[in-house]
Amino acid sequence: MNKVEIIEKAYQLAKEQYAALGVDTDAALEKLNEVIISLHCWQTDDVGGFEKPDAELGCGGIQVTGNYPGKASTIQEMRQDLDKVLSLLPGKQRLNLHAIYGEFGGKLIDRDQIEPEHFQGWIDWAKERGMGLDFNPTCFSHPKADDGFTLSSKNEEIRKFWVEHVKKCRAIAAEMGKQLGVPCVDNIWIPDGSKDVPVDRNGHRELLKKSLDEIFETEYPREYLKDSVESKLFGIGAESMTVGSHDFYLGYAVKNNKLICLDTGHFHPTEQVGDKISSCLLFVDEVLLHISRPVRWDSDHVTTLNEEIQLIASEIIRNDFLSRLNIGLDFFDGSINRIGAYVTGTRAVQQAFLIALLEPTGMLKGFEERGKNFERLAFMELLKSKPFGAVWDYYCLKNNVPVGEDYIAEIQQYEVDVLSHRQ
Ligand code: RNT
Ligand code: ZN
């Protein structure tokens, strides 16, 4: 048998095993096409951006480690990398941009001056590929963020500057959604917080609320723009208090009909983001996910197929929540091949959704409702050894992307041909 025949044969056998449990694998693969993941552009260059050469992250509660060669340092290189990534992923993706990734033509355009024109190149790029775009204000890596406060700053000049930046970002995001015919999610995350125990927590939170109210004064059609707010537990340099905590933003989102962004690295390590989805969706219309892999803390490791991701995917699929979830990634590892990081991480998330789609949920729920919890447990364990990998391989084959380990060789080749020639 040749390679293709083996994949097809393995799929047929897997299909029969799942059918015995009442699961239709063809239908699962059909549904998997609806899982659209937004690729975070910042994995290509360690959140550098193109504002000025050698931009540094600065303090602001996020950190990239590693200096693996081959990082993209121009928009052309970044687009080349993203095209490579897209060619290795089955299904459809979106692209998630940060405000520092505009085409500023070598000029210093400060954050409060950015306009849709600086992102027209990206809009055209996305249109050519039939992709949607998402967007983020960049409220870090800037002298006006150096004292640790942006939208919640007590310095009125600084606060106004960041309000203006975020307003500009919403206008850009709305333009992206308008031109592409699919809403753009604009997600606000700020690093504001305090290293040591503060006295006035409330003062900063009142200011953040005031800034957000000012930012959201302008209304845009929901077909163009969806506004989202992202909470965090703590950051490096902001260990004692984060202004935009989960309580703060969940309250704000519920009251103001915004999306809440749940980043898997932004909670206490024993909390599960998968558990939060059904609660949030009772009170907000939609959720944005920033899927990452925290290791001991918000370390933004490349996502792998772990229980956390699995629970997230299962909760979404079991409850038919896909249309209310915006699935984004948010990891950045500069210590390994960056294209490899993307593809491995994105495929892991896609696989988690596939496993969720291959679950005989009705049967498990039936056990649960009849108090048959041994049977529920036993079947959930059994499902772990069912041949989902054969179904996944078949999906890759049908999508004309490398199957199994073949994508690794492609990335190694790209490293030789392209990445190793970069400065
Ligand atoms: C930081 C947040 C935020 C950033 C990106 C780059 O802790 O997770 O989403 O990672 O905006
Ligand atoms: Zn995030």
Strands 241-242 and 225-230: unpaired
Backbone angles phi, psi at 229, to 5 degrees: -125, 140
pLDDT of residue 58: 59
| Residue 140's CATH number | 3.20.20.150
Q: For residue 303, how many other CB atoms are within 10 A of its CB?
A: 23
* pLDDT tens by residue, 116-168: 999 999 999 999 999 999 999 999 999 999 999 999 999 999 999 999 999 99
Assess whether pLDDT exceeds 70 at residue 418. Answer: yes
Q: Which atom of ligand 1 is nearest to the CA of 138?
A: 11
Is the Cβ atom of 47 under 6 angstroms away from ligand 1?
A: yes
Q: Please report whether residue 102 resides in a domain.
A: yes
Average pLDDT rounded to a whole number, residues 312-324: 98
Answer yes or no: are the C-beta atoms of 349 and 303 closer than 8 Å. Answer: yes
Answer yes or no: are the C-beta atoms of 140 and 179 closer than 8 Å. Answer: no
* pLDDT tens by residue, 109-126: 999 999 999 999 999 999
Q: Please report whether residue 120 resides in a domain.
A: yes
pLDDT band at 53; cut points 50, 70, 90? low
Looking at 61-65, 114-118, 141-145, 177-181, which range is the least confident one? 61-65
Q: Please tell me the distance between residue 135's alpha carbon and the centre of ligand 1 in angstroms.
A: 12
Dist. CA 140–CA 148, nearest whole Å: 9
Q: Please report whether residue 124 resides in a domain.
A: yes
Q: Please report whether residue 402 resides in a domain.
A: no
Q: Please report whether residue 382 resides in a domain.
A: no
pLDDT of residue 56: 61
Q: Which domain holds residue 163?
A: 26-372
* pLDDT tens by residue, 201-235: 999 999 999 999 999 999 999 999 999 999 999 99
Nearest CA to ligand 1 atom 7: 62
Backbone angles phi, psi at 224, to 5 degrees: -100, -45
**CB neighbour list of residue 291: distance below 8 Å, 6 or more residues apart:** 264, 303, 309, 312, 327, 328, 329, 330, 331, 349
DSSP structural state of residue 257: T
Is the Cβ atom of 168 under 6 angstroms away from ligand 1?
A: no
* pLDDT tens by residue, 189-204: 999 999 999 999 999 9
Token pair, residue 264, equals: 């898997």
For tokens 């025949």, what's the residue? 5
Q: Please report whether residue 423 resides in a domain.
A: no
Tell me the catalytic residues. Answer: 189, 230, 232, 263, 266, 290, 298, 300, 330
Q: Please report whether residue 306 resides in a domain.
A: yes
Q: Please report whether residue 42 resides in a domain.
A: yes
Dist. CA 161–CA 51, nearest whole Å: 17
Is the Cβ atom of 289 under 6 angstroms away from ligand 1?
A: no
Number of domains observed in the structure of the chain: 1
Is the Cβ atom of 232 under 6 angstroms away from ligand 1?
A: yes
Q: Please tell me the distance between residue 62's alpha carbon and the centre of ligand 1 in angstroms.
A: 7
